[in-house]
Amino acid sequence: MTRKKVLITGGAGFIGGNFVQYMINKSPSYDIFNLDLLTYAGDLTKHRDIESKKNYHFVKADIADRDIIISLFENEKFDYVVHFAAESHVDRSITDPGVFVKTNVLGTQVLLDAAKLVGVTKFVHVSTDEVYGELDFDPTTFFTEDTPLQPNSPYSASKASSDLLVRAYHETYGLPVNITRCSNNYGPYHFPEKLIPLTISRVLNNQKVPIYGDGKNIRDWLHVLDHCAAIDLVMHEGVNGEVYNIGGHNERTNLEVVKTIINTLGKSEDLIKFVKDRLGHDKRYAIDSTKLEKLGWKPTFTFETGIAQTIQWYLDNKEWWEQIISGKYQGYFEKQYNV
Ligand code: NAD
Ligand code: TYD
């Protein structure tokens, strides 16, 4: 069998990192190239067990650096691109939107040009349900692939912009693309600035957990490994030009999520601290993933099994998240939320 070259951008981050390991273990006949700038969110220690494998390669580069990206594609002639690299935190996009436009919009366009130049078999653009904006609290309403794009934060606006560029490269140049729009992920190696790992790490250290507003905002949670399996399916079976929503019907209020973690760890709910609401805070996200299910995907974790596995992982891997919060993040949350 001829070996295929797969470029995974953002493979030092949370979801991209899980996807790198998933592909290395599942498809030894693929050569995996992990391209990452190693921003604050990128960390290679998670790949210690695979870094000596012959089919794993790491490239440190900025996806927005056109010359480097074009020459890398000319040299390697990738078959597949799975594009995760992004600025991904809504709160950061509220304080500093510029880098979101550079990385998420310009970076995606540079990759699209490079993919077009060498004629890739497939370009999978990993996007988010946040491009659809927000739903109200009516539990019978869901985002479908036909829901209009109405992003509310600079983060989701930059992701929606990149989605439109991906679509345009398919319509204009016939580039074989798919766009995936997944709900909130959780699982191993989730950076501890996001709600679930932030809560687990702070509760384990007996520190207050900041909940924005009244805690009634709803997110639809999917275990990262179910997301990886969905992307694998889309990469190989997705119909060119199509968008696929990904979600497992695990809607929870933020308060429910935080209380579940506190109770699982046997700690007191007094650790909860309600703080000032996020600007433009989206009320509710909920995904209809019927289209992807018809392609052959279904989630393997419920929220209960997934959160139990994730809490256990954080208990077993304290060294990984401690080095982050005790290093460059020392004092960050205290300052940001006054907790
Ligand atoms: P993350 O912040 O954990 O990781 C992002 C990675 O991209 C980091 O390793 C970082 O170093 C790298 N990166 C950032 N800027 C770069 C640049 N200019 N060039 C090269 N690399 C760069 O993000 P994540 O949570 O793993 O999200 C990955 C993708 O999935 C993003 O595109 C995000 O929009 C999408 N997504 C995330 C979620 C979620 O719940 N986390 C849900 C749906 C979709
Ligand atoms: P987050 O993990 O940042 O993901 P996103 O904003 O992309 O959905 O936040 C998830 C939810 O949790 C969101 O409604 C904001 C809320 N939240 C808090 O209440 N407190 C926190 O400290 C954080 C980081 C998030």
DSSP one-letter string for 273-299: EEEPPPTT---B--B--HHHHHHT---
What is the mean predicted confidence (pLDDT) over 151-168?
A: 98
Pocket test for ligand 1, best of 34, 43, 69, 84 (most atoms within 8 A of CB): 84
- Residue 265 included in any domain: no
Measured in Å, residue 5 CA sits from the centre of ligand 1 at: 21
In angstroms, the CA 133 to CA 34 distance is 30
In angstroms, the CA 317 to CA 310 distance is 10
Q: What residues are in contact with ligand 1 under a 6 Å CB criterion?
A: 9-10, 12-16, 36-39, 41-42, 62-64, 84-88, 103, 107, 126, 128, 159, 182, 184-185, 191
- Residue-range definition of the domain harbouring residue 40: 5-185+221-246
- The 10s digit of each residue's pLDDT in 30-46 is 999 999 999 999 999 99
Phi, psi of 219 (to 5 degrees): -125, 155
- Residue 339 included in any domain: no
- Residue 56: what residue type? Y
Give me the pLDDT at residue 268, please: 98
The helix (H) or strand (E) run that includes residue 257 is helix 254-264
Give me the pLDDT at residue 59, please: 98
In angstroms, the CA 222 to CA 177 distance is 23
The answer to whether 32 touches 4, Cβ cutoff 8 Å, is: no
Give me the pLDDT at residue 2, please: 81
Residues 6+ apart with CB under 8 A from 162: 104, 105, 108, 109, 125, 127
Give me the pLDDT at residue 327, please: 75
Degrees to nearest 5, angle at CA 308 with 306 and 310: 70
| pLDDT at 121 exceeding the cut of 70 | yes
| pLDDT at 91 exceeding the cut of 90 | yes
What is the mean predicted confidence (pLDDT) over 147-174?
A: 98
- Residue 260 included in any domain: no
Full-prediction pTM beyond 0.85? yes
Atom of ligand 2 nearest to the CA of 285: 8
| pLDDT at 206 exceeding the cut of 90 | yes
What is the mean predicted confidence (pLDDT) over 147-151?
A: 98
- Residue 141 included in any domain: yes
Degrees to nearest 5, angle at CA 21 with 16 and 25: 145
Pocket test for ligand 2, best of 254, 325, 334 (most atoms within 8 A of CB): 254
Three-class secondary structure of residue 47 per DSSP:
helix
Token pair for 336 = 């940001």
The answer to whether 134 touches 220, Cβ cutoff 8 Å, is: no
Give me the pLDDT at residue 338, please: 72
- Residue 176 included in any domain: yes
Q: Dihedral sign, CA of 333, 335, 336, 337?
A: positive
In angstroms, the CA 167 to CA 178 distance is 8
Instruction: Enumerate long-range contacts of 64-68, CB under 8 Å, 24 or more apart.
Output: 64/102, 64/103, 64/106, 64/107, 64/110, 65/110, 66/110, 66/113
Measured in Å, residue 43 CA sits from the centre of ligand 1 at: 12
The answer to whether 81 touches 19, Cβ cutoff 8 Å, is: no
- Residue 144: what residue type? T
Instruction: Supply the CATH number for residue 155's domain.
Output: 3.40.50.720
| pLDDT at 336 exceeding the cut of 80 | no
In angstroms, the CA 7 to CA 134 distance is 32
Determine if residue 81 is left, alpha or beta; phi over 0 gives left, psi from -120 to 50 gives alpha, anything else beta. Answer: beta
- Residue 169 included in any domain: yes
| pLDDT at 64 exceeding the cut of 70 | yes
Q: What percent of the chain is predicted at pLDDT more than 70?
A: 99
Give me the pLDDT at residue 1, please: 65
- The 10s digit of each residue's pLDDT in 234-258 is 999 999 999 999 999 999 999 999 9
Q: What percent of the chain is predicted at pLDDT more than 90?
A: 94
Give me the pLDDT at residue 337, please: 72
Q: What secondary structure letter does DSSP report for 277?
A: P
- Residue 124 included in any domain: yes
Measured in Å, residue 210 CA sits from the centre of ligand 2 at: 10
What is the mean predicted confidence (pLDDT) over 260-280?
A: 98
In angstroms, the CA 303 to CA 75 distance is 43
Exactly one of 43, 62, 130, 134 is catalytic; which is it? Answer: 130
Give me the pLDDT at residue 326, please: 86
Active site residue 129: yes
Beta strands 80-83; 4-9: pairing state: parallel
In angstroms, the CA 318 to CA 203 distance is 13
In angstroms, the CA 248 to CA 259 distance is 21
Give me the pLDDT at residue 293, please: 98
What is the mean predicted confidence (pLDDT) over 260-264?
A: 98
In angstroms, the CA 195 to CA 247 distance is 18
- Residue 59 included in any domain: yes
**Mean pLDDT for the chain overall:** 96
In angstroms, the CA 250 to CA 235 distance is 24
Total domains in the fold of the chain:
1
